[in-house]
């Protein structure tokens, strides 16, 4: 079992729809959870961090964390073509210590 | 504020040559990470430093790879001798480790091609 799992996609949504990206992780001691966006040929860019159970909203982005289910998600409201990218889930803390463990990423395509 | 600065942005060299990648972390950050990204293997952590000290180098693939951090504002990743399978994008990232795990911020990467 991979430590951080994501559906590779591609996930295709129409412009204006809600995109829902999901991630599960194996270490129950994980403490910090991050979503990075990576455009083709570019570096990963931090878009959300979440540390406690529940929802955290920032503009069109909402991160959701459920530690009991070892599940973290990212919702993108009013999706735009410019949101088309690979979204990487990353986890650290617990046995990972200060290391970030990344999922393989989900490719999101927003069609206009 | 300046982000993480990596050089060179692109490197093309022949098999067997020595390659040196450079990184300047964000000022004030005390943790530095080297990653490698390929289509097949995704983003892999090679090594990370905390307060200039290597903490975990378990991701370094072979003895051909070495990394140093002589001071808080500079790190190098060296491959000697280089091989075609080392071709990848190499990212450096930094963070401020203050108990609660802080997010890492990435440089633009070095695209390495070994012929």
What pLDDT digit, counting tens, does each position of A43-66 carry?
Answer: 999 999 999 999 999 999 999 999
pLDDT confidence bin for A42, thresholds 50/70/90: very high
* Per-residue pLDDT at A1: 59
Q: Is the pLDDT reported for residue B1 higher than 70? A: no
Contact B106 A44 (CB under 8 A): yes
CA distance B113 to B97: 33
Give the model's confidence band at B62: pLDDT under 50 very low, under 70 low, under 90 confident, else very high. confident
pLDDT at site B99: 63
> How many residue contacts between A and B have a Cβ separation below 8 Å?
47
* C-alpha count within 13 angstroms, C-beta hemisphere, residue B89: 19
Cα A67–chain centre separation = 15
- Helix, strand and coil content of chain B, in percent to the nearest 5, comes to 5, 55, 40
Using the predicted structure, report yes or no on whether residue A97 has a pLDDT greater than 80: no
Per-residue pLDDT at B72: 95
- All residues of chain A having their beta carbon less than 8 Å from the beta carbon of residue B104 are 46, 100
* B33, B103, B108 member nearest A49 (Cβ): B103
Q: Is the minimum CB–CB distance between B91 and chain A shorter than 8 Å?
A: yes
Q: Work out the minimum CA distance from B39 to partner chain A, whole angstroms.
A: 10
Query: Which residue, among A44, A63, A96, A103, would best test binding to B if mutated, counting the most B CBs under 10 Å from its CB?
Result: A44
**Chain B residue with the nearest C-alpha to that of A32:** B101
Contact yes or no for A43 and B106 at CB 8 A: yes
The Cα–Cα gap between A2 and B59 comes to: 16
Which residues in chain A touch residue B97, judged by CB atoms under 8 angstroms apart?
Answer: 98
Mean pLDDT throughout B25-41?
Answer: 94
Q: Is B30 left (phi over 0), alpha (psi -120 to 50) or beta?
A: alpha
Q: What is the mean pLDDT of chain A?
A: 93
Q: A97 touching B, CB under 8 A?
A: yes
């Amino acid at each position: 079992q991979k430590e951080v799992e994501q559906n590779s996609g591609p996930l295709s949504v129409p412009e204006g729809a809600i995109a829902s990206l999901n991630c599960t992780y194996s270490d129950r001691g994980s403490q910090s959870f991050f979503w990075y966006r990576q455009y083709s040929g570019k570096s990963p860019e931090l878009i959300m961090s979440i540390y406690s159970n529940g929802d955290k909203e920032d503009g069109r982005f909402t991160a959701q964390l459920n530690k009991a289910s070892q599940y973290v998600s990212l919702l993108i409201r009013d999706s735009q073509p410019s949101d088309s990218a690979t979204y990487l889930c990353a986890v650290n803390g617990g046995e990972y210590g200060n290391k970030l463990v990344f999922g393989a990423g989900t490719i999101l395509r927003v069609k206009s | 504020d300046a982000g993480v600065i990596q050089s060179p942005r692109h490197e093309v060299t022949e098999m067997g040559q020595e390659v040196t990648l450079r990184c300047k972390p964000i000022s004030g950050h005390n943790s530095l990470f080297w990653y490698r990204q390929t289509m097949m293997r995704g983003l892999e952590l090679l090594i990370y430093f905390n307060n200039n000290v290597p903490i975990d180098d378990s991701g370094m693939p072979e003895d051909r790879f070495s990394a140093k951090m002589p001071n808080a504002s500079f790190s190098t990743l060296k491959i000697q001798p280089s091989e075609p399978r080392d071709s990848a994008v190499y990212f450096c990232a930094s963070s401020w480790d203050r108990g609660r795990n802080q997010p890492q911020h990435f440089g633009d990467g070095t695209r390495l091609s070994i012929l």
